[in-house]
Amino acid sequence: MTIALKYFLLLFIGTILFVTSGCAVDNEFIAKLPLFEAKSDNIPGLESPLQRKKQIQLKGQKGTAVSDFEKEILVAQLMVEYRTSPDPNMRREAVDAMAKIPHPKRDQYMKEILADSDPFVRISAIEALGKTYSGTKKELALLLIENSKSDTDKDVRLTAIRLLAHSFPKPSQKNAAKTANETTEINTLIVRALGEALYDKVPAVRYETMQSLHKITGKDYGNDINRWIQYVQYQKGETEKLPSERSFAEKLPSIQLPMFK
């Protein structure tokens, strides 16, 4: 056995004895030290974004089952949160929480929020109005139409167009006679407004417009934008010919095999 190998074996055995015997107590003591203990990063006196978010959400949940006086306080607190927060995520949380609380000024506040600088905050406000608006259907339709035209952000316009179809779908035969006049007037307003959206510079907006027109009118022109434009022109009296709807053959999915491409 070489001298180098002897020294290596002695060093190896000594290390094992040192770890298992002599330093057993010290190792046990060291293991108990909180060197790797998880510590909170909260600073006393300051709220983390997560804590603030949970508090805002709690106000919205609480506001559904309290007295009118308490609702007034909660809505006021949420509006202060909205108006003072520089964080668009917190402003959006405030809007979502406020949308859950029945309050006479909720529509007024949501209309104010439609001017927010952040598009996602505006989307929350317009979705809240679409679900909870307390005015007439015509007022809601005009509000959604205005935002589908004027907003500079494509996602806000998409939301307004989608809500027009969701809030004013084609009436069923059972309810058509009862609300014929009001429905016809609103339907005409929406169809004409969506006719303008067919010329939007964003393809996704044009596509969503065709889907909404299909839900509102019941017509089936698929994604043929030229037929939809002609249909709107017909409704406005600009052409005498109503476009034909898709045939059965046109509705069948087209499958191209690689060898026939």
Closest CA to 88 of 58, 113, 60: 113
Assign 3-class secondary structure to 94-151: HHHHHHCCCCCCHHHHHHHHCCCCCHHHHHHHHHHHHHHCCCCHHHHHHHHHHHHHHC
pLDDT, one tens digit per residue, over 48-84 is 888 899 999 999 999 988 999 999 999 999 999 999 9
pLDDT along the chain (261 residues), means of 10: 66 63 50 55 70 92 92 94 95 96 94 96 96 92 95 96 88 56 82 95 96 92 94 92 86 63 47
| Domain limits, the chain | 50-134, 136-242
Q: In this predicted structure, what is the pLDDT of residue 168?
A: 85
Tell me which fold the domain 50-134 belongs to.
Leucine-rich Repeat Variant (1.25.10)
245 burial via Cβ count (<10 Å: 0-12, 13-18, 19+): middle
Q: What is the pLDDT of residue 72?
A: 94
How far from the centroid of its chain's Cα atoms is residue 172's Cα?
29
pTM of the model: 0.75
Question: What pLDDT is attached to residue 13?
Answer: 72
Q: How far apart are CA 207 and CA 165, in angstroms?
A: 13
Tokens in use for 126?
């317009």
| pLDDT for position 48 | 83
- The single residue listed with the structure tokens 């596509």 is 207
Which residue's structure tokens are 């001017």?
115
**Contact, 137 vs 106, CB < 8 A?**
no
